Amino acid sequence: MRINPDGSIPSDNPATFTNAFGTSLTTTGANRAIWALGLRNPFTFGIQPGTGRMFINDVGEGSWEEINEGVAGANYGWPNCEGACNPPNSNFRDPIYQYSHAEGCAIVGGAFYNPAATQFPPEYTGVYFFADLCGGWIRKLDPANGNQVSTFATGLSSPVDLAVSADGSLYYLERGSSSVSRVQFTSAPNVVTLTLVTQPSGLQLTLDGQTINTPYAAQSVVGTTRTIGALSPQQVGRRNYNFVEWSDGGAQTHDITTPDADTIYKATYRKDGRP
């Protein structure tokens, strides 16, 4: 049903509907409040901010849970069909996604990810989150990629509702644990390249206690502590090399804090007593 806040019936509600046999049915009086037909238990639904697109979660009876796209005047087939109609019936609108009771028992929640401020990665924008009471999971449906569905979270205790807040957080309500929880996105760590070299080239150094051959490049998270060391003395062929200094002025073995840009650390050696 669709009514105005004051209880009146919108004038643009559909006036006719099609039944299973293709017969057009006309609504009058209070029945003009009917907006769509053929839903069994549309327990929850979501409306996409900015577009007004509606996805309806319809709880099935014995076999299938459905997500239907809300369309004025549509007939979704119940009680003739549960899930997609088999055989197909052009008078009914099939769900855009369905899953069997082997995966859950009651579809709940329903929230589009279109907050005023986004904190999830760009690929989440516009996805539709939904959950299942018995399955204890949250999944996401991506309308931009053929309504592809993937798992978002598992291990929930009887989830019953979902909501996306203005700051881009996802909230979920668990009946089993009588709790409300919040999901926030933590940005991926900033990674830079640390390059260790020697003068002359090709000598060995240590990184975090492990011997490496130079030149050597390592990925490192900004702000983390690494330990670099210069093995000394070293013999290459018939020549001996002794450590002189690091380019950053540190001791022969010392800690560094990973900077926020790619950085080269050079250890200078001298040969046979000469730099």
The secondary structure of 106-130 as a DSSP string is -EEEEEE---SS--S-GGGTT-EEE
Beta bridge partners of 256: 226
Query: pLDDT averaged over the chain?
Result: 95
181: nearest Cα among 158, 197, 202 = 158
208: nearest Cα among 226, 231, 224 = 226
pLDDT tens digits, one per residue of 26-46: 999 999 999 999 999 999 999
Instruction: Name the CATH topology of 191-271.
Output: Immunoglobulin-like (2.60.40)
Place of tokens 């929930």: 156
- Letter for the amino acid at 91? N
Q: What is the DSSP string of 221-232?
A: ETT-EEEEEE--
Residue ranges, comma separated, of all CATH 2.120.10.30 domains in the chain are 41-183
197: nearest Cα among 162, 255, 153, 248 = 248
User: How confident is residue 68, by pLDDT bands cut at 50, 70 and 90?
Assistant: very high
Which 8-state DSSP code applies to residue 183?
A: E
41-183 maps to which CATH number?
A: 2.120.10.30
Residue ranges, comma separated, of all CATH 2.60.40 domains in the chain are 191-271
User: How confident is residue 186, by pLDDT bands cut at 50, 70 and 90?
Assistant: confident
Mean pLDDT of 166-170: 95
For residue 275, what pLDDT is reported?
Answer: 47
| 237 or 151: which leads in pLDDT | 151
Measured CA to CA, the distance from residue 147 to residue 141 in angstroms comes to 6
Strand order in the sheet with 210-213: 210-213, 204-207, 225-230, 253-257
Measured CA to CA, the distance from residue 184 to residue 189 in angstroms comes to 15
For residue 273, what pLDDT is reported?
Answer: 52
pLDDT tens digits, one per residue of 112-127: 999 999 999 999 999 9
